[in-house]
Chains A and B, each alone.
Chain A
Amino acid sequence: MMPILLIPLLPLLGFLIVGIFWPFFKGKGHLIALPLVTISWAIATMEFFKSFTAPPSLTLVYDWIRSGNLDVGISLQYDHLAAIMLFMVTTVAMLVHLYTIGYMHGDSGYDRFFAYISLFTFSMIMLVLSDNLVEMFIFWEAVGLCSYLLIVHWYERRPSWLAANKAFIMNRVGDFGFLLGIFLIYDTFGSVRFAEIFPAMASHLHETVNISAAFGGNWHVPVLDVIALLLFLGAVGKSAQIPLHPWLPDAMEGPTPISALIHAATMVTAGVFMIARMNPLYNAAPFALHVVAWTGAITAIVAATIALTQPDIKKIVAYSTMSQLGYMVMVCGLGGYGAGIFHLLTHGAFKALLFLGAGSVIHSLSGEQDVFRMGGLRKYIGLTFATMLIGSLALSGIPPFAGYYSKDLILVTAYQQGPLGQMLWLIGVLTAALTAFYTFRLLFLVFGGKERFHSEAHGHAVHPHESPLTMTIPLIVLAIGAIFAGWAGEHYGILNYLAQELPLPQVHEGAGGLSENALKGISVAVGFLGIIGAWVLYGKESAVPGALAKNLSFFYRISLHKWYFDELYDAVFVRPSFIIGRLFWQELDKGVIDGIVNGVGSFFRGSGVVMRKLQSGQIQNYAMVMGIGAFGLLAFYLVFNRL
């Protein structure tokens, strides 16, 4: 029991020490934060290996709310799903802590940064260990808060806080749905604990809820579908699925370690994790599952098309993250929760690797992020190149790297789910080709070809340099993960391990068509096809990409402008909000509210000006008034004989 409690507690301790006493650390915050996270990782690893034989455990840490039949505790539910997630989360968190020492060296907010990533690690661990929806929601919000705080790390820069606000507000939209989903669950099941909700699922299968009751309507829909969709809205926000995705690429304004830890490996996968955790609910809500699957598939392909043309190295990787999250969500929507979690884990390794590698590239060029101002870096930063090559191969799904196993599992699972699955499989295969293409486009532009960074606008010569050991060690460790994680997962039977919580999807009999090996062959083939395409277009200097962009300018513009989502939201939500805000500000607030307040003020001020005349300060005036008053009263008495 105790060791599991220590896993979240140690990063929390690190946050408290570094966060409260940060002025005393003066750039030494890692001395506290890193060892604590490392111990936490060691415990998580030990517990993970023990979990193969040990039964799942449930520890109540704190009995938080007990009111009527509402029973919310802060508990640690340690089962196979949590164990393997914790292993991944703490590993990446530890490596990112280490990487940060080199990457953020000399930054004015160095210790603050360590405090926040420790807080994030704590929140993410608690999110994974939650045993009820309220606890999950709290830490769901906490990781969102940490994401905000870390995106806005360089708060003097306007793009940083704009991106941070965008991330926070977009997540708020999703969290609204999540919260409503929790309310509806409590209303339906009378409990928010997983252990009580899941067994009761069958008895609510045919229950309906009138969703237009507020408008006097009478529109009954299955309650489980509504709950599942509302919770999924939260996942859409957190995991950057269409339509709540634009915050994720913008979040790349934050420091690169954050992009790797929060916006690639852990936090954005919380949505997928939540769907997997709630799988009995989703399995009982067929309509919601269709929505989930389609959302994931559309996100996967749209993000992949956007990544084709982006010039910013981190945005390319960000869109590939979005696309891979789309895969995970899609396969969850087809019932393959285990495959989704498997891809989540391998993706955590190779995407963190790609981000940290991108950070190393940016670091070596002193902050340059435009891939068209890089090139030929292979000579200078060989280690970064080697590790990023491994990460790219893993992302492209080339055997024997990690992405091959998990992505193929997703595609095979999809294909076996009947006609819908095969349609989504086709989208997935197309996305896989695009993924391989844009990944290697990035690789060729950054590491191959001519050196284009000399002609940059800064005016001074640039000398690319390999990053310090603290940054390269995480790259090497993650590269090992990117090579072996997939093989290990398949070899040790991750699906059977996870089957304790995540039931295996049923193979749709009679789907016919291609065998499993043929499917694997196809996805590897499209991966190679994408790489060859990238080599042809970007392997050496050629005029083909420019000519393609000109001839297909319609598609090129759509891709470059990210399908105009930002412009659409700007026109539909942002501008009207500003107009309404301005209306309330100028007319209601300044006109009516200020009018009343200022009116009261100026009334008394005006009457004061008039009344002030009476107060001449001349005693004789006062005496005169007194005398007239006395005579007046006397005269009144004498005339009317009464007072």
Chain B
Amino acid sequence: MLNAMKDSGVIADYALFGAVAQMRYTEPVATLDADVLVEVPSAGGLNPLAAIYEFCADRGYQPEGEAVRVGAWPVQFIPVFSPLTQEALQQAETADFEGVPFRVVRADHLAVIALSVGRAKDWARILALLESGSVTRDEIASLAKRHGLSDAWQRFEARFPDEF
């Protein structure tokens, strides 16, 4: 559906992020929904997600709270909201999901987006990515610095100096 949405021009691009994307690298984790970063071509409207909801409804995918139910998953569409998420979307990788290509945010961007949000579960996400070896502390530090998140990274390093 995401690829069809992109082909139809409803979105300019998309990439999975959050826990579903994280699971490419780590062990399975508990999550209630799937997060999708989207770039909407015309950001001028009051609701940049209206066309997405309409596209989904036309195909029988019904809203469920803030999300849209697609198969087993409530899917939450989140427009790019910062230079960091814009870059994450542009540099996303294409992963194979049983023959279907999916755009997925890279591990280093997942870690730094988590750093920017900064909840306990986001710090746990960074630790899981570090433990998986999919990203290094140096890579996170470099990306965090480029996006003005050096202070947040230093706080993380002070809290978890020895792990991985």
Q: Do A and B bind each other?
A: no
- Interface residues of chain A, those whose CB is within 8 Å of chain B, are none
